[in-house]
Amino acid sequence: MTLLRVPAAILPLLLAAAAQVDHARKQEPSPEYVWNESLDALIRTRIRDVSAPRMATHLFALAKAPLPYRKLNFTVPGRAANTLYEADAFLSRELESRGYHVEKEGVRVQAFRRDLSKPKHAQYSRPMPEDPWYTAYNLYAAKQGSARPAEIILVLAHKDSQSWIDSPGANDNAIGAAAVLEMAAVLSTYPSRRTIRFLFCNEEHTPWTSVTAAQNAKARGDRLIAIFNIDGVGVKPAEDAAAGKKTNVTAYTLPEGERLARLMSAVNARYAIGLEQRTVRRPGPGDDDGSFIKAGYPNAVVNIGSWPYGDPNYHTEEDIPELCDVKNAAMAVQATLAAILTLDRQP
Ligand SMILES: [Zn+2]
C-alpha cells in the first residue's frame, strides 16, 4: 500500500467529500425495493406480533389432538367428518374468529395407494380408477387492498397429511398451515394497499388441489404479483437442529422468483430476524409453488427450512409435532411477513 502525503489543510476536505459519497450511497434507494422510516416501523411492529406459542397450539391441534391426521380417507372413530374436513373446519373457525370470510373451492381427488417396495419417504403410488373419490377443498381468506386491490400477494400452504400412510404430517405440513394462519392473524388488523390472499390447499392426495387454484386464478385473470408457498418451515437435518441453527431457504424457479428470494434475504438482514437465510434455484417447478409457475405465474417461491429437505422423518409416522422447531418456523413467518409488507407498501 502506498501512503499519500496529503497537506494537513486539505485532509478535512477530502474526508468530508468521502463522507458525502458514503451518505449519497446510503440514501440511494434499493434498485428493487424501497424502505423508509415509517415502513421500517410498521414492519418491526407487525413482526413483533408473531407468536410462537400460538403457532404451537395450532400445530398440535392439527397434528396431534384433536386431529391425529388430516386426510380424506381417515375419520376418527365416532366422529362425523373425515380428519381433513375437520382440519378445514378448524382453520375456517380460526380465520373467521379474526374477521375473515372463508371461501371453499372443491376439487375431486383420490388418496394415494401405498407401495411398500419403494423407499419409506416415497411410498405414495397412483390410485386405481376404482378407488374412492372425494372432494378436497381449497380454503381462501383475503384482505382487500385499498389502493391497488387488483394486485394480489398470495401466501399458501398445503394443509393435508399423507394419504397413503398414518403420519401426523407435522413438519409436512401442519407447521406451514399454522404459519399461514399466523400471518393471517397478524395481518387481520392491517390496512393493506394491495390484496393479500391466504390459501390452504392439498398436496398429499392426487391431483394436487393447488393446480386447480392456480389454473382458476389464471382463468379469472388474477394479477398475482408475488406467491409465497410455505412448506416445511424450520425443518433441517438433525445435526443442524442439535447445533441450534435457525434456517430458512427460499427456493425459486425463474428470475421473477429470484427477485422474491433476494427480498427474503434483504428483510432478514434489515430487520435482524436472525435466520440463516439461503436462496437456491430449483431445477424445475415443484411443490405448490410449481403449480402456479406451470399455470403462468413465474413469481413464485417456496420458503422451506432446508434444501435438500433435511427431515429424517419425512413422510413417516414419526413426523410428529414434538419434533417441529416452532421458534424457527416463527422466524420464517416474521421474514415472510416483512417481505409481504415490503411488497404491499411499494409505490
Ligand atoms: Zn409431502
- How confident is the model over 57-81, as pLDDT tens digits? 999 999 999 999 999 999 999 999 9
State the distance from the centre of ligand 1 to the C-alpha of 162, rounded, in angstroms: 6
**61 C-alpha to ligand 1 centroid (Å):** 19
CA of 171 to the centre of ligand 1 (A): 9
Cell numbers for 17: 467529500
Under 8 Å CB-to-CB from 94, ≥6 apart: which residues? 58, 181, 185
Q: How many angstroms does the Cα of residue 53 sit away from the middle of ligand 1?
A: 24
The C-alpha cell at 57 is 397450539
Answer for the pair 209, 191: CB distance below 8 angstroms, yes or no: no
Ligand 1 is a single-atom ion; what residues have CB below 5 A from it?
Answer: 172
Selected from 3.40.630.10, 3.40.50.720, 3.40.50.12780, 3.40.50.150, the CATH number assigned to the domain covering 49-344 reads 3.40.630.10
- The pTM (predicted TM-score) of the whole model is 0.91
Task: Output the CA 315–ligand 1 centroid distance in Å.
Answer: 6
For residue 87 the three cell numbers come to: 382440519
Ligand 1 centroid to residue 42 C-alpha, Å = 35
How many whole angstroms from 105 Cα to the centroid of ligand 1? 21
Ligand 1 centroid – CA 85 distance (Å) = 18
**CA dihedral sign, ordered 19, 24, 27, 31:** negative
Q: How far is the CA of 287 from the centre of ligand 1 (A)?
A: 9
Q: What is the pLDDT of residue 31?
A: 62
Residue of 47, 59, 52, 58 lying closest to 94 (CA atoms):
58
CA of 342 to the centre of ligand 1 (A): 30
Cα dihedral 228/234/237/240 (nearest 10): 120
Quote the ligand 1 centre to 302 CA distance (angstroms). Answer: 14
pLDDT in tens, the chain (347 residues): 333 344 444 444 444 444 444 444 444 444 689 999 999 999 999 999 999 999 999 999 999 999 999 999 999 999 999 999 999 999 999 999 999 999 999 999 999 999 999 999 999 999 999 999 999 999 999 999 999 999 999 999 999 999 999 999 999 999 999 999 999 999 999 999 999 999 999 999 999 999 999 999 999 999 999 999 999 999 999 999 999 999 999 999 999 999 999 999 999 999 999 999 999 999 999 999 999 999 999 999 999 999 999 999 999 999 999 999 999 999 999 999 999 999 999 99
CA of 172 to the centre of ligand 1 (A): 6
Distance 43 CA to ligand 1 centre (A): 32
For ligand 1, the distance from its centroid to the CA atom of residue 331, given in whole angstroms, is 22
User: What pLDDT score was predicted for residue 285?
Assistant: 98
